[in-house]
Amino acid sequence: MKKALSYLSLIALGSGLTVGSGYLFANPPAETRFTQTAVAAPESPDNSNIAAIPTGASTNFVTDVIDNVGPAVVRINASKTVTSQLPEEFNDPFFRRFFGGQMPTPEERVQRGTGSGFIISEDGKILTNAHVVAGADRVEVKLKDGRTLEGRVMGSDPLTDVAVIEVDADNLPVAELGDSENLRSGEWAIAIGNPLGLDNTVTTGIISGIGRNSSQIGAPDKRVDFIQTDAAINPGNSGGPLLNENGQVIGINTAIIQGAQGLGFAIPINAAQDIADQLIATGRVEHPYIGIQMVALNPQIKAEFERSTNQRLSDDTGILVARVMPNSPAAQAGLQDGDVIKRINNRDMTDPSSVQDAVEQVAVGDTLSAEVSRNGRTNDVTIRVGALPSE
């Protein structure tokens, strides 16, 4: 069972996988290893797919966009102090006496990282990625006009990789937020950021895909669908804006797939804005959660599950509940290991991401009606959605 679940879409709904501050996703397949630190050269887009220059715009419309939005794009320098730990043996009195007064002491070193962000309010609120400021003791924000301001992290949400920083300033230039709901492949995409320390770098391309779920791109612990673009994104671009041809922000540039070319990903701005509003208001985000681990059922998974658990399954398709988390909303509703989810709220469930989507469409405290197969019989289960535990 462990072997099967290690390469299939096994996720803990709502709780995801443990999120590391280093933001290197947990064991994706080698061919789709996903990280913010890999460098990928942009692939030249197929000319047949390139969006037409906006009607009435000059042939230099990209320059116009950059002139308008560039001043609102910032560089974020984050640092944290790390103390090296001495081996446990140094705490042994028998061992310490050999050193006398020459005992080594823990050493401190400062880790530094650079990312991008963009200003969303004149009074100094800035959107960026959570992994840009993860664990930071100090955050500095460098404006395009040359000023460097001390930043404060108002809130950070690792599950969606969105964070909000605040600086003490007024009358700042603001990036206009657009609408990411109705994006189409082939539309223009313009990225601004500070890749590899090169401030205010601009790249262009197209939107090459939408609705890429986290499992598809090797990031199963993230709870957001991504915009795919071939606009070049490199280390340091993280947190910067992805813009449309009108200069409106449609996404937050966040990552690339290591070893690929022309595959960059951005968080849709509608989702990011919802998260940002919660972070600004309360400093935290409540994610809906039911607490199961699941996998799409097929003959191989069925055979592996039956062999490892001695439990017979009567279904060949559906979403297999591999584990119910203790004291979770699913456990309280009576879900059991080996149940097969067929429908939620009258919608057929075709893969684990469809279950995840169904949960994310409701608020904490709402209920879900699930149709579950168990021992050849169909059961109706009502699950009251809870809030994702903080740990």
Residues labelled catalytic: 131, 161, 238
Cα gap 160→4, rounded to integer Å: 27
Q: Give the gyration radius of the chain's Cα atoms.
A: 24
Enumerate residues 6+ apart whose C-beta is below 8 A from 52.
none
Of 27, 50, 32, the C-alpha closest to 263 is: 32
DSSP secondary structure of 99-134 = TGGG-----EEEEEEEEEEEE-STTSEEEE-HHHHT
Cα gap 224→19, rounded to integer Å: 14
Q: Tokens 């007024």 belong to which residue?
A: 170
Cα gap 150→161, rounded to integer Å: 22
DSSP secondary structure of 307-323 = HHH------SSSEEEEE
* In contact, 170 and 123? CB cutoff 8 Å: yes
SS3 3: helix
Amino acid at position 178, single letter: G
* In contact, 130 and 163? CB cutoff 8 Å: yes
Cα gap 343→359, rounded to integer Å: 12
- The dihedral region occupied by 213, where left means phi > 0, alpha psi between -120 and 50, and beta the remainder, is beta
Cα gap 188→140, rounded to integer Å: 31
Distances (CA, A) of 167 to 147, 160, 241: 11, 22, 18
Tokens found for residue 19:
């999120």
Distances (CA, A) of 125 to 121, 132, 271, 279: 5, 16, 17, 11
* In contact, 252 and 239? CB cutoff 8 Å: yes
